[in-house]
Chain A
Amino acid sequence: MRYARPNTPDAKIDFDTRYDNFIGGEFVAPRRGEYFEDITPVTGRPFCEIARSTEEDVDLALDAAHGARARWGRTSAAERANILNKIADVMEAHLEELAVAETWDNGKPIRETLAADLPLAIDHFRYFAGCIRGDEGTLAELDEHTVAYHLKEPLGVVGQIIPWNFPLLMAAWKLAPALAAGNCVVLKPAEQTPATILRWAQLVGHLLPPGVLNIINGFGVEAGKPLARSPRVAKVAFTGETTTGRLIMQYASENIRPVTLELGGKSPNLFFGDILDRDDEFLQKALEGFAMFCLNQGEVCTCPSRALIDRTIYDRFLELAVARTRAVVPGDPLDTDTRIGAQASNDQLEKILAYIDIGKKEGARLRLGGERVRLGGDLEGGYYVAPTIFEGHNKMRIFQEEIFGPVIAVTGFDGFDDAIQLANDTLYGLGAGVWTRSAHQAFRAGRAIEAGRVWTNCYHLYPAHAAFGGYKQSGIGRETHRMMLDHYQQTKNLLVSYDPKPMGFF
C-alpha cells in the first residue's frame, strides 16, 4: 500500500505553507519576519516554510516559559501525568497522520514510523506519566528528633536541542521527562526536520498551559546557540555530535549549568561462532541483527555499523548476511513495502558518499552497494543510498567514525579477547550488540564492552524503562528511563529538628 503524499488528494495529513514558532501557547511569527524552506528528502524539494528565529525569538520563548514556570511547577503530579496521557491519546488517535508527516519530513520508510517512531513516542509520554505518579522523595531519620526530608523540585526552565534522525521520538524522549518533572521547556528542533513537531504542536499544544512548551525554529548558530548560552535556562539537553557537545558544555560552564548530552557512537555488533551451530530461527534472528544497520537508513546514534564476526564462521556468516541485506532495496518511503527510505538531507547524502569514497581508497573490500540510488520519477532528486557492506580492519576510518548512513564495516575476530579488544577500540561507547547461543559468553561480553547499552541477542529495541546513554565520548546522562527524571529535578533538603530544647552550644 502506498500512502498519498501530504497536500495531495486522499492524503492523511497536509502541511501548512508556513510554520511559525510555538510560544506561550500560540504560533508567533519570528521578529525579523524571515523563513527558510523545509525540504522533503523523499523528492529533494521544499514543501513548507519554517520560522528562521534569532535571539529575540529565543528571549520571547524564555519569557513565556518563565511566566508559566511557577504555576506549572506547583501542579500536582497527577495533573501533569493526566496531561501527558492526553498528549499520548491524541497522538494515538492521529498515529497514521503523524507517521506520514514524519516520513515526509525525514525520509524514513512509513513502515518504521507506523511501527516504531510513533508507538514509541506515544508510549514515552505514558511511561513518564506513570513515573511521575510513582516518584517520591525520601526521608532519613537522623536521630530521635531530627529528620532530613529530600523533596524533588523541577529545575525551572530547560533548553532542549534535538536531532533530525527521529524528530518526533527524540522530542518525546526529552519532553516527557522534563514536563513530567514540572519544568517548562524551550525546544529547538533540527533545521532539517522541524515540520512534524510543529504539526504535532498544532494537535497537542492546547493540552498544556501556555508557556509550558515553547518551540523555536531556525538554524543552530542563530537560534540554538542563544538558547544554549542563555543564563535563563537551568539545564541544556542536546543530542548530536562531539564538537557541538563540547561547545554546549563550554556555554553551560559560563553559567554553571548542568547538561545532558547524547553524542553518538560507532557501535560494534559481535557475532560469536556458535550462531552457526544450527540452522534455525535464532540464526535467522542473528542475520536480521546484522541487517539492522539499514534501520532508519543507518541514521541512528547506535547504528550497528561495525560487524565483528568470529573467524570460525566468518565467510559463511557474511555470505548469508550479504544475501539478507541484498533484499533491502531503497524505495518510495510512503510505500508500506519499502524497507529503506531516503537520507535526511543532501549534506548527509554527500557525507555518506564521501565516506564510501574513503572506504574504497583505504582498501576496504566492497561487498554490496556503495552508491547513490536514483529512483526515477519525482523521487529522482531524493537522497537514496544503497545498503553498503565493506570488509576491512578496525583502524580504517569507516570503522572509526559514525557514517550515519546504511554503511556497515565488517571484520573478523580471533577468540573472545580479540572480540572485546576490537569492540572497545573506539572513542565512543553508546551501543553494542552481542549474538551468541551461550548465556555465559553473552554475559561476559556484555559486561566487558564499554558501552551504555549492550543489546544481547537483539538489536535496535528502544523501549521506555531501559536506560539509554553513553560511555566515553558518547555523552552524559541516561534517557528513556525514570532515572532521567533526576536530570530534570533539584533536590531540596529540609533538615528539621523536632526537638524543642536548645542545643546549649551558644
Chain B
Amino acid sequence: MASFPRRALAAVAGTVAAAATLVACSSTGASTASDSDTPYSAPDTNVSANLTYAVWDQTQVKAINANLAEFNKKYPNIKVNVDVTPYADYFTKLQTEASSDSLPDLFWMNGPNFQLYASNGKIEPITGEVKAGAIDPKNYPQSLDQLYTLDGVQYGVPKDFDTIGVWVNKALFAEAGVPIPSKDWTWADLQSTAAQISQKLASKGVYGISAGMDGQTTYYNTIFQSGGSVISPDGKTSTYDSPATQKGIQFWTDLVKSKAMPTIKQLTDTTGDQWFVSGKSAMYQGGSWARSEVAAAPIAKDVMVLPVPKGDQQATVIHGLSNVVAANSQNKQAAQALQVFLASKEAQQQQGDLGAVIPAYNGTQDAFAKSMPGVDLQLFLDEVSYAKPLPVSKNTAAWNTLETNLLPDAFDGTKPVDAVLKDLTSQMNADLAKE
C-alpha cells in the first residue's frame, strides 16, 4: 500500500496542473495593432504557402472546398487546410491560440468576438486590400461593414449574413382553425394568434410559438422593435434599464404567461427549433439559417415564413461572419489573397449556389431566395433594409453570460421584469467598465 500516497499525490498535483497549463500557456504582452497602412498587392500566382483556415460549421465545408478548388486554379501552390472546430469550443481554442500568437492564418470571426481581437491587434485590417481595390466594402450590407469596423478601421467584410423571421406551420394553423397573419402583422397579432393556437390545440401539447430565447433570434429583435437598445452607441454602458428595452423583454414574458409559448424550462430541455420541426409549435421565431433544418424536417411541406412582426417600429437583427487574417500570420500575403478571393463575387456566388448560407455580396443571394420552392425566403433579404447589427462590445461574452443567467427569471415571471433588468444593467455595467 505504500505506493498509494505517491500515486494519490500525483493525482492531486495533476488536478490543478491541467487547469494551470491552460492558464500558463498564454504569452506575455499583447502585440500592438499592426500598421493599418500596410499596402496590399496580390502575390505571384506561383507563390507557394501552407495556410490554415479555421471555421466552425461542418455543413459549410463542402462549399468551402468548392471555393478552394477555384482558388487553387489561380494559386496552385497555396495549400489550404480547413480546420473545423465545433462552435462551442471554437473561441476558447482561438483565444488560446491568440495568446500564444499561433492563430490560424485565416479564420472565421463573428460580431461578439470581433472587437476583442481587433482592439488587441490580433487581426489584420483590410485597409491595404481596400486601397489596392481588391475589396470594395460597398458591395456588402453596410450594417455588417460597420460590425467589423473598430475606431474607423475595417478588419473584414462579411462572408454571409442572416436575419430573423417567423417560421410558420400551416397545417397546425389549419388544424386550430386560426387564419395565418399577413406579412404586415404586429406584436398584438402575434400574441393573439399564438395564444389562440395554444388554447385550441392544448390537448395535443401544441403551442402557438416557440423561440430560441437567445438575444439574436429572440429578444434583441423585440427590443429594437420597441425602440430600445442593449448597449450605448459608444459601447460603454448598458441600456437594459430603459423603458423601451423593458417593453421588448416584457413581450416574451407575456407570451409565456398566456401559455402561448412553452415555459423557459421546457425551452431549455427541448429547444425552440425542435418544438417547431417536430410539429409541437405552430410558429418559430428563428434565423434564416433554420432553413436547412426546416427543409429537412417532416413538416417541411407545410412550412411558410413571415417577417418578424412590427412593434413601435420595424426591426430585425442582422449578423454575418467575416474571414479575417491573423496579424502575425507567417504567410500574410497568401492569406490575404485567400481573404480577397473569398470576398469576391465569384466565391460568394458559389457559396450561395451550393446553398450553404446567404452570401453577403450584393446580388448573389438569388439562389438562397429560391432554395425552398413555395416559401418566400426573399423576405429575409428584404429585411436587410431595416435590420440592426447584433449589439457587441469588446468583451461581449461576459455580459452574454449575464443575459443567459438572469433573463430567464424575467421571462418565466419568477421575478418582476424591471427588477431583473435593473440587476442585469448594474452587473453588465461592471463588466463593461473592465473592458
Partners in one complex: no
Query: B interface vs A, CB < 8 Å?
Result: none
A-side interface residues toward B, CB under 8 Å?
A: none
